[in-house]
Structure 1
Amino acid sequence: MANEAASDVSSTGATGAAPVAPKESQEAASAVSQAAPVSQVQTIPDMPPVIDARNIYSEASGPEKMSPTVANHLTRIYVPNLRGNSVSVIDPTTDKVVDTFKVGRSPQHVVPSWDLKTLWVTNNSEGHADGSLTPIDPVTGKPGKAIDVDDPYNMYFTPDGHEAIVVAEAKRRLDFRDPHTMALHQSVEVPKCEGINHAAFSADGSYALFTCEFGRYMAKVDTVNHKLLGMLKLSKGGMPQDVIAAPDGHKFYVADMHADGVFTIDGDKFKETGFIPTGVGTHGLYTNRDATRLYVANRGSHMVHGPRHSKAGGVAVIDLATDKVITTWPIPGGGSPDMGNITPDGKHLWLSGRFDDVVYDINTQTGEMKKVPVGAEPHGLTVWPQPGRYSIGHTGIMR
């Protein structure tokens, strides 16, 4: 176990728990799942209830948990090509690209909206002034008119669905916006969080942890009152990437591309609690459908821009009951697995091959994989549709 790293900016220590969600939110959630009674987790107002306190992902556990909202959505993989300024659209039944369309400059992620009705392409222009969000209609798979937004590297949604959080990476800022019009509500400055990019939310929705890619820090943010609660410096490494909440919504896993592994963090206490070595260039994190395993994409390099065909590129699988790596899947011939998601049945893990201009279709039972050529430098692809009541954002983190 790693030494606990102390927070160098004091945290309030409070989780900001609020009364349980109102009756109408509970009824809406119950319409999707009657599998288990509502737990006693106290959530922020208007957030759908936590059905199982042991597993915040219980309502996204398989195809039977599909929302009626996505019933007529196309089954597609949407791949943003960072250097191609485009999105490649793949039919996963054939592993073929069936469409490619232009979007804004430097598209980073394809982000499902909280209400599951829109897929947003975050075109951040890598810090330039012409950032935008391109909406995709998941019924047709076609893009709509872009909305000008400052520096949208990534995007999340508060668990109550009231606001989008645009992660302005180059600005070291979080912009809380209307989730439909993207009108700005309020900004939270995070000056010590250089390269702020990925996030995960607590079980009750009251706070989120954000990674600081170029600063070795984690930031804890109050999602209700829109304020920075504290900063935590990791004990080693120095390039935290993706972060995901454990099934209990209190423990968090943080991929660090320089540490070559995954840190564990107690989110409530905001303390580092352990470290799991996984492979070179640890980057993306995704749970399987029953939230018992964690898929870890190891990009194969410590470099931000390459190299191509890294022999060290692969995927590690962590048993979440023991926090031990139980198997690894190397990329045949080398590769650069980055961001993605799993299919509704959990049988396939799709990841972008960031520096190889391909995406990987990985069989989660055998580790066998196929490569599908796409545009230049694919990044945060999404697999759609996904089971679940609502989307937290990123590449489709569902609850």
Structure 2
Amino acid sequence: MKTLPIAAAMAALATPAFAQHGPQAPWGRDVPASHRDRVYAAEQFSNTVSVTDPVDGTLLGVIRLGDPQPANFSPLYKGQVLVHGMGFSPDGRTLAVVSIGSNSVTFIDTATNAVKHTTYIGRSPHEAFFTPDGKEVWVTVRGEDYIAVLDPVTYQETARLKTPGGPGMTIFSPDGKYGYVCSSFNPELVVFDVARHAIVGRVAQPSPFCPNIAATPDGQQVWYTLKDVGKTVVIDAKPPFATMKVIDTGPITNHVNFARTAQGLFAYVTVGGTGEVQVFRTDSFAKVATIPVGRLPHGVWPSGDGKTVFVGMENDDALVRIDTATNQVTGKVAIGQAPQAIAYVAGAVPAGTGRENLQPLGVAGQATTLALGAGGKGATSVTLFDQGLIQILQASVTGLAPGQSYQLVLTDQADGTGTVEPLADFKTNPAGSAIVNASGPIRQVVQGQGATARHWLAIRAGTSAAPGAIVQRQMP
């Protein structure tokens, strides 16, 4: 993340249902939704975990794991930063929440929302999942080249499993035999024999950047997403783990999960750059629905009965509910800032209210949204997440040339002319998209509050050393 560099005023101060892709029993059995269930979201800019009752769509509160900016610009002795990944135990009693910026896995009691322990591991872990027997937690250490295996009783690291550099995520086969690990930095997926902690398969990825992977609950297929090229790939879940299908899904393809309806088993894929969820049959791979949901959909998870799919909206600070019978959006719940991974845990609260240790949303519920585009057509969504005096800016950039250098800038004229001040340099991926971050009192500047002169956001080609033309401007 880059601090905003604009003069003194701008000093920057993720019928029956097979309901889970993760390891939660019972496989293939209806689990009717109830007020004992919870939907959790890991929110990386408010550093919270939101807790929602899925039946009536009520946010019950948040578990605050860390502070907002700018407190985290100084040495961090307590609390977590960039709360991002999430898994849960097979009995639904424990969450494992990964914080990328503080290299941690926080274990939370689902019944009381209390933190049981925090384990610190290697550089920039990404996701944590329990093995189906509940005896181990596998954490992909994306900033390095291994999986950290944790004991869920002692919370200690017991092993390191070597992988290609930048492991993105592990998911397990329903029977617990295989662990499938896609890569975020190398074009290779590896398959582990879970009991032996040994690699037994290697599969070429069409591109290096996989953020998410899911196994069908019948144990037949594994689906994984490629964020950099906008594709979703299906492989055979059994040896030799052959690639079955590569699907073009669109820029910033994020997460995938499954739900069964009377019509069959379907894959739900979030596509951030187009603001939609795409739905595919798992037998023919035919696309059966495209569901507009809003700004930058990220995590996706079905309810215990498979009748609803929940989607975390990274640039809308919300959970969206989709009815799987009609593939229509049926509701929206305001949650914390920039939700990443989400999880639906059936029976998370076996007794009591389940509201202990929860806090109000507070400042984490405040955000401003903008759009950038060209020719009157929006392509890039921008959200300014309020952190008090400053904001974190996140731009979901699309519609640009692939593999080129650009800058997110502020201009003092609405048409992009006049003085241009760079906020962040970035390079687009092969799909012509990017996620761009900056921080500072940006809202005050683009709204012209107080003595601050009004500015407009824009994107220009090139770099500071070789600036090009403005290609996208802030829209009214």
TM-score, normalized by the shorter chain, greater than 0.5: yes
| Structural mapping, 1:56-71, within 5 Å | 59-63=27-31
Q: Deviations over 1:322-371 (max 9, x none)?
A: 1111111012xx41111131112222211111233222222223312433
Following superposition, the deviation at residue 238 of structure 1 comes to: 3.8
1 CA distance for matches of 2:289 and 2:139?
35
1 CA distance for matches of 2:258 and 2:91?
21
What does residue 331 of structure 2 align with? 370
Change (3 A) 1:247 1:132: closer
2 CA distance for matches of 1:297 and 1:84?
22
2 CA distance for matches of 1:107 and 1:223?
27
Q: Are residues 1:338 and 2:314 paired?
A: no
Question: RMSD across aligned C-alpha pairs, in angstroms?
Answer: 2.8
Aligned residue identity for 1:239: F
SS of corresponding position for 1:59: coil
Change (3 A) 1:204 1:373: closer
Change (3 A) 1:183 1:352: same
1 CA distance for matches of 2:194 and 2:309?
30
Aligned residue identity for 1:346: G
| Structural mapping, 1:297-308, within 5 Å | 297-300=270-273
1 CA distance for matches of 2:117 and 2:160?
24
- Could you say which structure has the higher strand fraction? 2
| Structural mapping, 1:1-399, within 5 Å | 59-63=27-31, 74-103=36-65, 104-125=80-101, 130-150=102-122, 151-190=124-163, 192-194=164-166, 196-202=167-173, 204-234=175-205, 236-267=206-237, 268-289=239-260, 292-300=265-273, 312-331=274-293, 334-366=294-326, 367-385=328-346
TM-score, normalisation: structure 2: 0.59
TM-score, normalisation: structure 1: 0.69
Aligned residue identity for 1:315: V
Aligned residue identity for 1:223: V
SS of corresponding position for 1:381: strand
Question: How many equivalent pairs are there?
Answer: 307
2 CA distance for matches of 1:61 and 1:318?
22
Aligned residue identity for 1:172: D
1 CA distance for matches of 2:321 and 2:225?
21
Q: Deviations over 1:182-222 (max 9, x none)?
A: 212211121x332x122232354332221112323212222
Following superposition, the deviation at residue 58 of structure 1 comes to: 7.2
Aligned residue identity for 2:242: K
Q: Is the 8 A contact 1:82 1:379 kept in 2?
A: yes
1 CA distance for matches of 2:288 and 2:170?
26
Aligned residue identity for 2:144: K
Q: Which has the larger radius of gyration?
A: 2
Q: Deviations over 1:12-46 (max 9, x none)?
A: xxxxxxxxxxxxxxxxxxxxxxx9xxxxxxxxxxx
Q: Structure 1 vs Structure 2: percent identity of aligned residues?
A: 24
Q: Is the 8 A contact 1:193 1:217 kept in 2?
A: no
- Structure 1 gaps, min length 5: 1-34, 36-55, 301-311, 388-399
- Structure 2 gaps, min length 5: 1-15, 17-23, 66-79, 349-476
SS of corresponding position for 1:322: coil
Q: Is the 8 A contact 2:108 2:117 kept in 1?
A: no
SS of corresponding position for 1:153: strand
Q: Which runs of 4+ in 1 moved over 6 A?
A: none
SS of corresponding position for 1:219: strand
1 CA distance for matches of 2:84 and 2:103?
11
2 CA distance for matches of 1:186 and 1:318?
37
Q: Is the 8 A contact 2:92 2:345 kept in 1?
A: no
2 CA distance for matches of 1:386 and 1:145?
22
Aligned residue identity for 1:79: A
